[in-house]
Every structure is written in C-alpha cells, then in structure tokens.
Structure 1
C-alpha cells in the first residue's frame, strides 16, 4: 500500500479554517496553504479546554487493566473482516474475509441494515489506542483501513467492473454477496424462439432462496426464470404470462452445493420442458405450453437479478451462459460438461478480467453490461457498506420499519467520526478527504429536501436515528471551514425536541433514549459554531431531565432502550435496563456541557457512570474475536451480564471499544487562559502540559485507595490547581502541599482551589475518605443501591427476588453504614453481609448480581444491640431509625442519645410509638457501643 498522503500534498491549494466561530457567531478564521494542526481547534466559547489523549498517559490501575484487554483486541482483530461489507458493496474482492456477523453482515438483524457502523467505531478505537499508547501497530491498521475505504469510494464512483476469478473453463465473473450486481443483457436475446435451451455454469456462495441465475421478463406477471434454490432449496425453472399462480415449472431434487461449480440447463420444445443438473435430467414437464415466443417482447433480460424486489441478488460466480434456438438433446447437454459450446442465440464466457462489458460469442454481437441494482451514487463523496437506497427510502417513509431502513445516518455518523479521528490521530489526509466527501454528499441530498420532510425523517424511531452526526459535522467544519458543512449540521435540527427542551418542557417519556442523547452533544457544538442560545439551553435542560430523574445508581439510563415517566426508577427496572450506549453518550454530553459551565454536577455524573457502568460493562477476560461489552445491564435481582450480546458488533460494543481506549480524556481540563488546571477525576495518570512546561503525575490506586498524590515536575509556573471535592466526600477531605495542610474548607460537590507558583517537585496529597451510603429509588425509597465513596457495591447472589438487608445495626456515629458490613481479607472493596458477598460493580464478572436491594430494618438496633422494639414507620415510609440517623454525623455518643431521645419523644407524642417501647429504644442507645 502506498504511504499515507499528508495534508500538504493533498490540500496544498486549499484554504481551510483554523478556528471555529466563537459564541458570538463571528467567523474567526485564518487562511493557510495547508492545514497543519494535529488537534481540533477549541471553540472560542469554551471556558475550559481538554487535553489531547496523547498528552495524558494512563498509569497502572483498574482503568489500565480494562484498557489493556481492549488494546489487545484492537491489535489482533483482522480489519479485513470489517472492510468486507464495504468492499462487497463496491464490488471489490473481499480477500476471502468473513464479515464479523451480528449487525455487521447480511445475515444479521434486519438483514444487516446497519452494516458499516462498527468499522467507524473500530477506527475511533484504533485512533484513541494510538494516541494513548503510541504503538505504531495501531497507526498501521488505521492506514490499512483508510486505504481500503479510499479504494471503495473510488470503485463506487465508477461503473462496476468485473471481478474476475477462476472459472470452470478459463475465467468467470464473481458477484460478491452484498455487491448488488447483475448482468444486463440486451433486448432480443431469445429472438422469439419457439424452442429454447438455456445453460449456465454457476458457483453459488450463499444458500439464500430465490436468487435468480436468470430472469427475463417485464415485471412479476410475464417472465421466465431459473434459480439455484427455490423455496425448498432446490433448482427451479418457471415460465408464466399470468404471474406466480400460472407458472409452468420444473423443480430439481437436491440442493446445489455451495462453493462448487454446477451446470444448470433447461430445454423447452414440443410442449416438454426438461431441467438438467450437471448433465443429468432431474425434472421433466410434458405440459409446458409456454415458450419464449409466447412471452412476446420483454423489457429486461437479467442474469443474477430478480423482478421481485424482495429476492436476493445472486451471490457467487457465473462461468458462462448460453442460449440456443432449439431444445438440445440429452447427449448434447452431457457434452456441455466437458467443453464450451457457444449458443446460437447468445453466448457469454465471462473471460473478461476488467471493465463492465461482456462479449457475446454467438455471432449476434449482443454485448452484455455489468450493473448495480441501485445504479450509481448521487454524489462522488458517497461512502457506505450498503446501497444509497437506504437513504433514498428514508426520505419518503412516514413510519418506522427498521427491516427496510435502519438508521442510515446513524451509520454514516460512525463512519464519519471514525475517519475524522483517524485523520487527527495519524495526519492521514485521505481520511479527511473521505470525511469531507461524505459531508458534501449528505449536503447534496439533504439540502434539497423540504423542511417538513427533514422534520419527519428525524422524528422517526430507529429509521431516522442519526446519532452524534451533528457533533462530527461541526468538528469537520472546524477543519475545513466549508460553509456547506456548517449548513449541513443545521439540517439535522429536530425542532420540536429543541424547542420543548429549551422551554424546559419534559417530553422524554416514550422516547428512544440513545436516539436522542447524542443529538444534544451536537447541538451544544452548534451553539459553539453559531452562538444560538436555544441549542445550549435545550441541552442543559435535557441533561437535567435525565440526571437524576431517569438515572439508575450506576449512571445508566433507559429501559428496553426507551425512557419512561420522570422519577420512575424502581418501576422501570428490567433485564434490559441501562443500555451501555446511553452511558457513553451521557458522558460525552456531560463533558461538553462542563466546558461551558463549570458546574460540578457534570463531573459528578462523569465519575459515577465511568467508574461504575462503563468500567463494569467490559468483561474481565481477553478475547480476540469479541470486545466483550454489554448491551444492556439488567438491574433485576440475580441478573447475569451478557458480554456477547446479539452475536457481537452492536452499537454498545462499538461505543464500549471507544470508552475503553479513552479513560483518561476527562481527568484534566485547563482554563482557556491557562490560569487553572482542573483535576476532575482521581486516576493514576501523567499529564504533559506543554504550554506550562510542566508534568503533573497522579500516583494512586483509586478507587482502591481513598485519595491521590499529585507531583508537579518541570519549570516554575503559576496556576490554580482546582481539585474536585466529590459530593460523596462528606467528611475528612484534606489537601496538603509538601506536607502542609492547605487552608480553607473543602465543600462536597465543588472544586477546591490551590493557587501558587508551582516548582519542580511540589507534591500535593489529597485524602478523600470513603463512607458507605445508600441511594434510594425515587419512586420506592425501600429499594436502595449501595455506594462506598464513588464505588457502587452489588450483592452477588443467585436469587431472583430482591434481597433484604438492614444497615443501621452497627452504623458509625459519623453516619457511615460501613461497620455493618464485614470486609473480605485480601480483596479490597469486597464485603459480606448476612452471608452474601458484595463487590464493586466495575468488576466484569459473570456472577448473578443485585444492584438494588430491599432495605429492611424490622427492629430498632444500635451498635449491634437489639432493643427488641419493632422499627415503626410513618405513612411516607420514613422509619424511626431513618429519622434518628438523619441527624448524623454525631460528635459523640451523647449527641446520638440526645437525638434518639428527641425522636422517640416526638414519635410517642404522635402516637407512632408506645411509651414503654420508646424507653427501651433510648436505653438500648445508651448501652450500645458505637464506632466513631
């Protein structure tokens, strides 16, 4: 393969924008003979800016271990398998590769109508792997894929060309499955013959029924055809002038073998039809009154294509086709097995090795032409793994039908995003050229459609899903500066959703979650490019409608891929909860919003979803063939995670590959003016902040370690180090610099600033003690999920009913519930309670788990001392113990007893607790021993 082109050689005469328009909308651009930056220019409106992946190195720990599993998969998987569907669609050799299966092949769900999306994900994964590791193998694989996709686009631009393979005699023409190619014969092939012999050498490569070897006719009423497999899987010939109900036919007795040459022949003469397979007569019909002459002049004469739109195109090789104006004898048919004998009506040997024309050796000069069933792309920038018909059909659809059209613009987004990431990671200008061509093609289609058509398309469930295409197009515009590209991004406005969310009207009930989350990341980027406030306002309000109102404890959202009513959590728990793609896209949206508004809630969510659902969605074992990522994470009791969903290659496995190769992307952000460094996540990493001439290294085993140490090396540099104080860090968060405590009071759910002129060797120690707490389902407070600091703990138990646990029995004076659990020696973050083990959600095991448990505190217990008094509850479900411990932390035992006395007196006065029982409760509290 030729070495990658550079931007300079490809774009030396282009003028590209080097900056995105600011929030005010003014275009701040510079002209250049060649765009030479290696990263996207940050929008002028971002108060914070990210660091490129290659400037943050991931150290040893839970994230690096998970990443290594995915890096090994990325290194070992045969990319030709991913490219198979692209090459097939373009009529190129697939090099013997087998498509991955699942959603990436013609036999998967909905006939593979989403094929190509996974290739885009894989390109993004490789790009991130290269940026994060620097290993050349990933760049080489990117180059292979980009080179192949360049060849695919060139092949799609041209008329189809014969794919020549070895034939029964000489050469043959191969029709790769998925290429939608057929041979178009000129009119008059049969010459109105009253008798006829049709013969063909075929090597089928797929067992699909009703794929035509030949179909000569006008429509589905008047025709004759020959198939390698009918509905029963055997060869069939039929002729009719009255549709399928009036067919006169011949059926074989056995299926043709796949990947082997077979000879099919049909003779009609004197009212008798005979079907031959490999020279042997297998069927005879003495009542075949219809002949080619009876059909009259026909409109089409096709090899490999059917007049029935639902029939597959023939997949395999054609080694010859001949027609004679008489019925050959049995001996003559037998003779065709050993030598070529040209027909007198038409004869094609398919010996051509190039071009799209097939010579006729009958002497009649009836040259045939190789064609695509769907014609040619509407624009030279078209690139896909299936015909453009998916996009064309969408424009007239009024209802969803993913078996016909399954999210073609979603698939286009994944390819576009992958190409952009490939370009940014490796400086391969071919990738940018492919991406820009795709945008040019989309603009050429969509800009011609009425506004009403666009709104209808984007509102269709599944079929109209377009993923994060707006974000990708705005990023592309940042590189090209082409006005049409920004205009294209705005053609994906879904106005009714934008307007509702901008008005803070919650319309999410019933919507498909992952269809809509990435839309808003794109709209934030449109705000960056245009300054239109409604985009940003809508995105902020949308985020607040999901978090926490439709969020499970692990950070996931959706049930069965859809949202239900606001604040219904317990009522939506199912085996198909928390689609993994949703978490991936909510992380992207949270990150993007944080660049505009430094509200800690966005990074609070980021930590929650990343450390729990995203990490836990990857199984903890290696696999060369599958990325082993969940689709759904069921939160029903005893759920076992499925790490190989739908035979692989789903959307969630695609985003899972991406997530696992960019764990470091949001650990640090910098202020746009360079005045501050935000430490958002506690993770073992090393940041190279080139502008400041410093590195910042975090040394930690977080979350197995409750804190981190940051070391600044390099030249002297003044800036504010802003350390996130997690909302779960309610006690003991402490910061020292070079051993001295930093003054100030860290507030949970904020950022703690440490401003100084940093010198080489300065060391910052952050202590963030964990406490065990519960989070209650919004619609059922008794259903709770456990957290130790940021770590979600799940019970491991095969029961399919909610487990019941009490947690107040040995609660600490601080309010920490952890003393009620017993730690497992030698296994950090593992505990037992009542004989059941609890483990971090992020461990990718296959044990049956309980993410939610039923809280049951039947009796009043303090410090493991049981009062024997039933724990009473108010009408809203609040128990006496709930009210007591709501006063934590307590400065000492006396303060706790005082709290107990006050609560008991109030409950006795309210008739909720008897006087004697109340005194026993107070007495038990006085006599109990408490953990501080």
Structure 2
C-alpha cells in the first residue's frame, strides 16, 4: 500500500493550489430545498429532489405518515440534551432519549449524538417533501442550539447558576464533565479540620465525589455521595484503597433534594454528619489532612479515580481548621455559614453566588479563588462539535483493539451529525448549519492530516471503534458546495487501502468483516471517484456490490448475520435471529442508486425494488408512536421470528436510518439523463413528478404492488424525450405498454428498460401492465430452503412454529411456471394467500406476527395439475428432484410442450437409473391427462 501516501499528499498540494468554491450560499432563512448539491459531471443520470416528487396514496404513504407524525410531535430538546450537557449549558430539564443516546444506555452512551444527526436528516427530508413549516422550525431550533453548543465548547466552562439552598448555587449538569478546582493551599496542612457542603444530587451514580483532595489514587481524602452500597462515604489514605480509613453513612442521599454533609477530624476521631446528625464515627484514625502532605488535585465533583463526575448542585462549601461542635453543625442546617454560630470556613468558603464566569470567590479571607474546569480540558480545534468529549477521537489514534465501552465509532457519530447538518442546510438554506458542518471538517482535517499513514490504516481497520459510516460521501458532498481543498483531502484520509485494493482487484475478502462498517465506505468511494477521477474507487465499488448481491443476500434484500458477513455463497448457513441488519439494507440501497448514476445496469434497480418493497417497508411497524420510530434493528429470518420494533431500548443506528428511509421513499422512483434526453421510471409507485426543466408533470396512478401495473399521465406543456420503463427481472412474460390506448411495438426483455420515445403532451396516458407470477428463490447453499415471491413481493408464512415448515408448490403450477394456483387467495386481504392451512402475507406488513421467511421445499409425489401420479418424486445426489428439472423448463407455450418436457426428463432419469420405466410411463400419462392454467 506504500504508493497511497504520496498520492494523497500530491493531491493535497494540487488541490490547495487550484481549488475554487463551486457554490455560494445565502446567509439566512429560506424555503424548502433552497440549496442543492451540484450534480457530479461523472453521473450520466441525475436524481430529482424530494420536493419534485410527491408521494400519493399507497403502501409508502401510509408508512411515511407514521414517521412524519413522529417527527412532528417529538421534542427535539430531548435530542439536544446530550449536546448541551457536554458543553455545560442548561438542558432545560429535558430528558435524553434512552438506549444509545443517554449516559445510562449501552456503553455509557458512547455513541450519543448520532441519533440527533439522523433526526436532523429525517426532518430535512420531511420538510423538503411536504413543505410543512413545523419541520423547518424544528431544524432551526436544533441548528441554533448546536451553534450555541459549539460556541460554549470553544470557551472555558461557565457557571450554570441555579436556585440554591439559601440563595443561588452552581449546577453541574450530568454529562458536562465539569468540576471545580481549588488552589493547592486549601487544606493548609491542617491536622484538625471540618469540611461542610450543601449538595443536591441529580443522579445516583456510585462513587461520584462531593470532594476529592489528592495527588493520585494512592494519596487522597474524599467524600463520595454514594459508595458501592449507595450511602455516603468519607475516606482518607496514603496507601490507596487498601489503606483507607473511612466513615460510611447509613442511608442514601435523596435525589433532587438538598442534603448537608460534614466531616470533622480531630485527633484520632473522625465523624460524618448528614443533615446535622452524626451517622458514623471512627475513633481509631491515624490519618488526617496533614498526613497527606502537599496535594495537587483539590477537586469538587471530580474523582482521582476513574469515577463519574458528580451530577447535581452545590451551595456553600466551607473548610475550617478546627473540628466544629455538633451544635455548630446543627446551626449550619438553617443558616448560611456566615450567619451561623460556626461562621465562615477559615481555610476556604465558597457561597457559589456567581451567575456568570468560570471562577468562584473565596470568602474566607485567604483569596483562594476556585475555577470551573472540564475533565478533558477542551477541544483541539474551534470546529469541534459532539455530544461527548474529544477523548474518544484521541484514544482511537493509539488504539489497537476494539473496546466500545471506551471508544465506540466516534467518526461514525461525527458522520451522522455532519450529514444531518448538511441536510439541514440544503433543506432550509440556514447558513449556520453549513458553517457548523464546515467547521467539523476543518476540525477533523486538523487531527487526521497530522497522523502517519500507518496510523490511519490501523484506525480504520479496527472493528466498531474505527467505523466511520458514510462520512466520506458527506465530506465530498460538502466539498462540492464550498470547494474547500482541505475537505477533499480530508475525504481521502479515510481510505482503507487494504479493502479498496482487494475489491478493485475483485478479490473477495469480506468473510468475517462487519457488514455495515464497510458498506457505506463504498458510497464514499464513488463520490471520491466523482471528485478525483481515480478509477480504482469506482471499480472497487462495483466489484464490492457484486460480492454482496446475491452472494450474501437474503430474499428480502438484506445482508449480514449478527452484523457480520460469512463466506461467499453461504445464505442458509447464516440464517439466525440477528440476520438482515436494517442499516445494511439502507446503505446497500444508497450504493445501488449511486452505481446506477454511473452505469445504467438494471440489476441495481432490481435490487433497489427488492430491498425497498420488502426489508425497508417491513422494518417499519404499522403503528403510531410518539416516543419511538418503531423500526427494526435485526430482522430474524429463523422460523417463527417475531420482529422487534423497539430494539436495544431505542435510538439505535437502524432506528436512525429507518427514520431516514421512511421520509425519502420517493428518491429513486425517477431519474433523468444528464442531457435531459430521457426519463427513467425505476419504480412503480403512486407519485407525481414535476420536471421543471421540461415543464411537464408525470403522475403515476397505481396501487402497486397490490396492482400489477401503473398508469402514467402527463401534464403541463409538451416535451420530447425518451420514456424508459423498467422491466423487472422477474417479469418474464406479459409486460405491455400502451400510449393513449395504442400498443407500443417492441419486445420487452425482463431485466432491462423498455423505451418509448415521442413528444409528450398534456393528457398523454401511458399504461404499463406488469403481470406477476409466484416463484421461489433458493438459498445458494441449500436449494431445498426457499422463499416465496409474487412479483416483487416476498410472501412469508405466519405461523408460531419454530421449525422450518414444509410446503409443496408444483401440484397446480401453471404452464407459465407460475406457482400461484397452488395457493388460495384470502378474501378481502390483497396479497394474502393460504397453503395447507397456513396464511402467507407480504413481508412488508409491519406486524408482530411470527413469520417464516424461508421454508423447506417438500414435493414427495409427482403431481401435475392437481392429479397425483402416485409415483414418488425422485431426487439426484445434489437434491434436485424430478419435478425441479421438469419445471425448470417453464414457461411452456402449451400443454404439449410441457408433456414433451416431462417425456424427455423421464427418459433421462430412467436411463440414469433414477426412475423405473413403469413409474416413468405413469408420470407421462398423468401429465397428459392433467389440466393446467396458462
């Protein structure tokens, strides 16, 4: 991989010398989709903006409305809570979402902030699609808050004033990583001492410190609000935890209530007071503050160990160089120290009356001003924006192994935030969003450009920790707007050369890789090709797609098991409860779409239809919910699996991409040629396209896939172009097109586009007939394990059994090879059928019914047209049965053609000793006497 480094550096130099901005932007407000991404010149096709394609009533509209309602009603201040807390700003009492977003979620919320980015993208797409101002208002609220957050992170922390026990107080928001640092002289070497504090804890984490005075985790003196048993603990040690002399309380401090804590040490006696009452005493103490010597870390709220920062409010912290009496401590319960019999602390006295700034005055007369600090210092660059400290990014640079409790994909999270901001800008033309996005890229470049090539390659190769999602694609998109050379150079710093070079050489190395860590890498490579012309990027993306589809693809279009890929061609062998991660389908759709912009191979849109109409639709529950988007993480394909629409306590990556998917269903229905000479109709979906450059509208009226076809009506003016209608690969016969009632000549070919070229005028009507047929798709590694399709629709059995069901489908097969006659339609339920008493329904229906996506094919007897020959259906060593081989010849033009196929197959199997002559004659006779549908 050695040539990669010089190539990058040379490119950087060239870019810095020649780059010019490609786009200018407005300075404020605006309307829906006020800004657009420039289309790459390498794209032979161009997409339409979401605002140009309106969604009509149908399966997509119903699912979308559920998500639109969720986005409309959700309080975005909950999403902003983690950002505001990280910056030390008031959270306004907002409660962060659960799951991966909150500090109490998986891995302590080390992915927090990612969901906010998803939500911004969802709102942006919702606004672009509907023009509803409520979404723009939410976007601007979020953009404004994130602008405030970045500004706060650029500065030293400032006091967050709150109502105190007596007056004002200082709040330490959970998640702020803030604490108060006291000068080194605070204890003054005193042997006798009293420490007193009013605190109002807001979270019950164990081992958070009210104070901790020490040098390290060997020499210290602390008061914890809660120990492992949940009660206050004071301890002093010169020999670490094993040498602690301590005092333990008897009851937990209540949350969100004021409590007074005091510790006295005099001679060999230490006493702990809670709310004026002595709760613990140790008369055998040999240590006191003077035993510790000079201490460097004198902290309120922070631990000398790796413990959580205290979350709560402080009012009055006093230190005396004597042991207060019980009466004096009692007097502190109802008065400020200055008004009590104890008086102010003689060593230090802080009232926390400050309402601005980052320092606290000492009223003891010793002038020991305290300072508010962050545990992690501060950002390395003014463009930094995140919902957690920069420490994850720093750690990753030296990390050699994964540990998501320490580092959980920081650049992945950065991508989601960056993408959300860019989408917010494109939707609302709010320059603040663009400035935030540009600043994030400036910050990333300032870090990554300083790292050696070997470090970058190691980072991006670490599972999970090094995952960066679609960040490259988004950075290049931003570059296409601002033309900033450093941003294109930044995008190339994410090159994972080992993977790129293997895929460019068409060498499949995917076995064992984390699927969704790698799929979006290739959307970024396509955009890098667009920006640089480097062919290996596009070649790698094309080859990679072919390694996944169909070799690692389930029938619904999904991929991965337990988030990982297995060996090429292993499908049945990977089916589990954790197959088909929803993010994988989301990213494969993006990749297919982008590849199609470069090369109009219909296989990309065939895949798009498969995954969109099955996994993506089926991943969204058909139910309203104000709290959660109700989207699956995994879709188990094991027998009897019940989909989980509230995975991992919520706010996962898949719920995020699920929100995005449900607000952009229309993004690939239509494409246009770059020169405007053709309109591609990729999907049959009730939509209305407004093609502004041509001055025409195209309205699709259809209930597809409940309807086997679509009607396209033209409006507006007249325009000459070629209408290219996708002929699905499964549409093997009967695809027909009429224009204004007249049949269009030509022979449609399955897996291609059928072209109609003319000058289109308002009122022109195109009707497309797309006859469906039922068929099966076999698992690549186990042909007997199959899944059932009717046209584009995957039909799944609803059954609570947990073993593979067995079904036969040839008994009433039509001459066309259509297996549908073997199933019985369910009255009043479109696309629902029964077979042997089991109901089959579209996978896309978001129910909680137990389903069987795959079943075991069982054809024990040779049956034709419902007539049983009485002959056992023999099989070859590879599992191929006699009936499999007969029906592989479908479609048949006539009954005679079928009988001829039966006769030739009998002859072959009899000759091979697989079928007896008498049985063969009986099979042929049965085929001759049976009746068939066409």
Q: Could you tell me which of 283, 287, 310 is aligned with 1:286?
A: 283
Q: 1:327 and 2:289 equivalent?
A: no
What's 1:65 paired with?
62
What's 2:842 paired with?
840
What's 2:434 paired with?
432
Change (3 A) 1:285 1:97: same
What's 2:134 paired with?
137
Deviates more, 1:336-345 or 1:513-522: 336-345
Distance 1:670 1:908 in 2: 56
Q: 1:316 and 2:312 equivalent?
A: yes
Distance 2:530 2:514 in 1: 26
What's 2:236 paired with?
239
| Aligned positions of 1:515-664 closer than 5 A | 515-664=517-666
Q: 1:222 and 2:219 equivalent?
A: yes
Distance 1:29 1:689 in 2: 28
Q: Match of 1:188, SS?
A: helix
Change (3 A) 1:323 1:79: same
Q: Could you tell me which of 706, 726, 729 is aligned with 2:728?
A: 726
Q: Match of 2:438, SS?
A: helix
Distance 2:428 2:496 in 1: 34
Equivalenced residue count is: 909
Deviates more, 1:902-911 or 1:75-84: 902-911
Q: Is the 8 A contact 2:784 2:857 kept in 1?
A: yes
Q: Could you tell me which of 510, 513, 525 is aligned with 1:511?
A: 513
Q: Match of 1:284, SS?
A: strand
Q: 1:452 and 2:448 equivalent?
A: no
Q: 1:83 and 2:91 equivalent?
A: no
Distance 1:550 1:450 in 2: 35
What's 2:851 paired with?
849
| Aligned positions of 1:342-491 closer than 5 A | 342-491=344-493
Deviations 1:69-121 (A, max 9, x none): 00000000110100000000000010101000100010000010000000000
What's 2:763 paired with?
761
What's 1:16 paired with?
none
Distance 2:452 2:19 in 1: 28
Deviations 1:490-535 (A, max 9, x none): 0100000000000000000000000000010001000000000010
Q: 1:867 and 2:864 equivalent?
A: no
What's 1:96 paired with?
93
Distance 1:301 1:191 in 2: 12
Which sections of structure 1, spanning at least 5 residues, go unmatched?
1-21
Deviations 1:160-207 (A, max 9, x none): 000000000101100000000000001110111110000000000111
Change (3 A) 1:27 1:915: farther
What's 1:676 paired with?
678
Q: Match of 2:186, SS?
A: coil
Q: Could you tell me which of 41, 55, 59 is aligned with 1:44?
A: 41
Q: 1:111 and 2:113 equivalent?
A: no
| Aligned positions of 1:144-155 closer than 5 A | 144-155=141-152
Q: Is the 8 A contact 2:22 2:482 kept in 1?
A: no
Q: Match of 2:185, SS?
A: coil
Change (3 A) 1:112 1:753: same
Deviation at 1:474, TM superposition (A): 0.3
What's 1:14 paired with?
none
What's 2:258 paired with?
261
Distance 2:251 2:196 in 1: 18
What's 2:744 paired with?
742
Distance 2:896 2:189 in 1: 108
Q: Could you tell me which of 885, 888, 894 is aligned with 1:886?
A: 888
TM-score (norm 2): 0.96
Deviation at 1:213, TM superposition (A): 0.5
Deviation at 1:839, TM superposition (A): 0.1
Deviation at 1:678, TM superposition (A): 0.4
Deviations 1:837-875 (A, max 9, x none): 000000000000000000000000001100110000111
Change (3 A) 1:741 1:27: farther
Deviation at 1:785, TM superposition (A): 0.3
Deviations 1:258-310 (A, max 9, x none): 0000000000002100000000000000011111111111111000000112x
Q: Is the 8 A contact 2:773 2:820 kept in 1?
A: yes
What's 2:336 paired with?
340
What's 1:494 paired with?
496
What's 1:915 paired with?
917
Distance 2:127 2:606 in 1: 28
Q: Match of 2:710, SS?
A: strand
Deviations 1:30-61 (A, max 9, x none): 58686996110000110000000000000000
Distance 2:316 2:365 in 1: 16
Q: Is the 8 A contact 2:20 2:484 kept in 1?
A: no
Deviation at 1:892, TM superposition (A): 1.6
Distance 1:681 1:28 in 2: 38
Which sections of structure 2, spanning at least 5 residues, go unmatched?
1-13, 338-343
TM-score (norm 1): 0.97
Q: Could you tell me which of 678, 697, 700 is aligned with 1:698?
A: 700
Deviation at 1:28, TM superposition (A): 8.2
Deviation at 1:886, TM superposition (A): 1.2
Q: Could you tell me which of 51, 62, 71 is aligned with 1:74?
A: 71
What's 1:715 paired with?
717
What's 1:180 paired with?
177
What's 2:195 paired with?
198
What's 1:818 paired with?
820
Distance 2:281 2:363 in 1: 30
Q: Match of 1:720, SS?
A: strand
